[in-house]
Amino acid sequence: MHSFIPPRRILMGAGPTEIPARVLSATARPTLGHLDPAFIGLMEEVKDLLRYTFRTKNEVTFPVSAPGSAGMEICFVNLVEAGDKVIVCRNGVFGDRMRENVVRLGAEAIMVDTDWGKAVEIDKLADALKANPGVKAVAFVHAETSTGVRSDAPEICALAEAYGALTIVDTVTSLGGSSVCVDEWGADAVYSGTQKCLACPPGLAPVTFSGRAIEVLKARKTPVQSWFLDLNLILGYWDGGDTGRSYHHTAPVNALYGLHEALVMLMEEGLVESWARHRDNHDILKAGLETMGLEFLVDAEHRLPQMNTIKVPEGIDEAAVRRELMDEHGIDIGAGLGPLAGKILRIGLMGQAVRLENIMKLLSGLEAALIRQGMDLKRGDAIRQARNVATLFAGKGEPTGERAITPCAA
């Protein structure tokens, strides 16, 4: 056995994404004890940085010591009890995982299904709320990674609140890359992951809980079913209050160094600027893809700039395309999942991988792979068109993110 040296890849799939040298370097700093006063100071800064990133003033905002899936589970296991009614909006893989959480807790999952590739249908949700008095929570995915679709979080949260229901919101793929405004939305329990637009190693799950959600937690009739994910216990470590912090688990100290550095970098860039950078680079990629005659799965109104889902043209072997991109160019993109397997390609533009250089390498490699499979394309056209759009944005070939984006009011 020898030390593992990973091959160089350009990560342009559904995550993880490229990690900046600053973040990798931060994770290599000397380890401290998880109750060391210096480390506790870093924990407090991480909480403040996450409040900035989520656009919230929620006191209970911190990273769970586990990947994004644990962020999902901590929301459900603390707020949902056996016998509760929970509406789950399902329009992709991760809505179905929400349903699985509800069922395993002994609660009733009331499904609002929308076709994959479409945003959650507000009228269907309204009908479900009317037909099911006493719903405890409405759960939905803001940015569905499996399809590249963005649902209308402000409208869904407002509708749920009108019926007295909590909201549980998945922002794993949107946080840092698209507008996420927790307080403005009125969302109650929101979770994410570090490995996408935050450009941080996988393994941590930022979460934030509203005061209303914490009141529901305190009013539970039964113990939280998970010991490790019980907020009542975790907050003794992440907060401590007047009594000081209590040992709950050994935090992933070096991983938290990395998250802190990634969030500092995001603050240095500016949140709105990061959203704009992701959007501008999507438009550059879109120009190249459409020049090749490729179509998006998702309508422009609900399309995620950081997760581009492309329909596979008739007669094209998408697995062979992905294999050629990997073998010949070192580029990793994603395949379709579930009913979309074999039908789409998923191209991620997340975090620090969102660079003109990477987009051009992808377009060149994709063009070559499609020509090899018989598509009638003129080499170089896609790159030329993409560069034209980049030049329009910045004048020097690099997008600046200066086109208007409305920031959160919070």
Q: What's the CATH code of the domain at 201?
A: 3.40.640.10
Same domain? For 263 and 280 the reply is no
For residue 402, tell me if it sits in a domain.
Answer: no
Least confident of 58-67, 104-113, 231-240, 330-339: 231-240
- Sequence-distant (≥ 6) Cβ neighbours of residue 376 within 8 angstroms: none
- Percent residues over pLDDT 70 in the chain: 95
Please give the radius of gyration of the chain, using alpha carbons only, rounded to the nearest integer. 22
- Residue 189, pLDDT above cutoff 50: yes
Nearest to 12 by CA among 355, 377, 241, 341: 355
Same domain, 175 and 212: yes
Could you tell me if 366 and 350 lie in one domain? yes
Judge whether 50 lies within some domain: yes
What's residue 392's pLDDT?
A: 82
Q: What's the total number of domains in the chain?
A: 2
pLDDT at residue 400 above 60? no
Q: Is 378 exposed, middle or buried (0-12, 13-18, 19+ CB in 10 A)?
A: exposed
* 198: in domain: yes
Q: Report cis status (omega within 30 of 0) of the bond before 16.
A: yes
Domain region containing 300: 271-394
Inter-CA distances, 314 with 306, 343, 370, Å: 25, 9, 11
Query: Which of 222, 241, 267 is the endpoint of a domain?
Result: 267
Q: Is residue 214 part of a domain?
A: yes
Say whether both 138 and 175 belong to one domain. Answer: yes
- Looking at the fold, whether 344 and 233 belong to one and the same domain comes out as no
Do 237 and 284 fall into the same domain? Answer: no
What's the rounded mean pLDDT across residues 196-209?
97
pLDDT, position 409? 60
Residue 44 host element (H or E) = helix 37-54
Same domain? For 156 and 236 the reply is yes
Tell me the average pLDDT across 361-365. Answer: 97
Per-residue pLDDT band for 327 (boundaries 50, 70, 90) equals: very high
- Indicate the residue among 224, 251, 267 that finishes a domain: 267
What pLDDT sits at residue 396? 47
Q: What percent of the chain has pLDDT over 90?
A: 92
163 shares its domain with 261: yes
* 74 token code pair: 């901590």
Task: Evaluate whether residue 15 is within a structural domain.
Answer: no
- What is the pLDDT confidence band of residue 28, given thresholds at 50, 70 and 90? very high
Residue 8 within any structural domain of the chain:
no
Reported as a single tens digit per residue, the pLDDT across 64-108 is: 999 999 999 999 999 999 999 999 999 999 999 999 999 999 999
Q: Which alpha helices (DSSP H) does 239-317 contain, by range?
A: 253-269, 271-291
Whether the predicted pLDDT of 120 surpasses 70: yes
Can you give the CATH number for the domain in which 380 is found? 3.90.1150.10
Going from the C-alpha of 4 to that of each of 1, 7, 10, 16, 240, the distances in angstroms are 9, 10, 18, 18, 39
CA 65 from chain center: how many Å? 17
DSSP 296: B
Are residues 206 and 83 part of one domain?
yes
Q: Are residues 229 and 144 in the same domain?
A: yes
326 inside domain: yes
E-strand ranges in 255-378 read 307-311, 331-332, 334-335, 344-348
pLDDT number for residue 237: 94
Residue 285 lies inside a defined structural domain of this protein: yes
How confident is the model at residue 395, as a pLDDT? 54
Residues 304, 228, single domain; the answer is no
Say if residue 277 is in the same domain as residue 348: yes
| pLDDT value, residue 353 | 82
First-to-last alpha carbon distance for the chain, in angstroms, is: 53
Average pLDDT value for the chain: 94
As a whole number, mean pLDDT of residues 20-33 equals 97
Tell me the whole-structure pTM to 2 decimals. 0.95
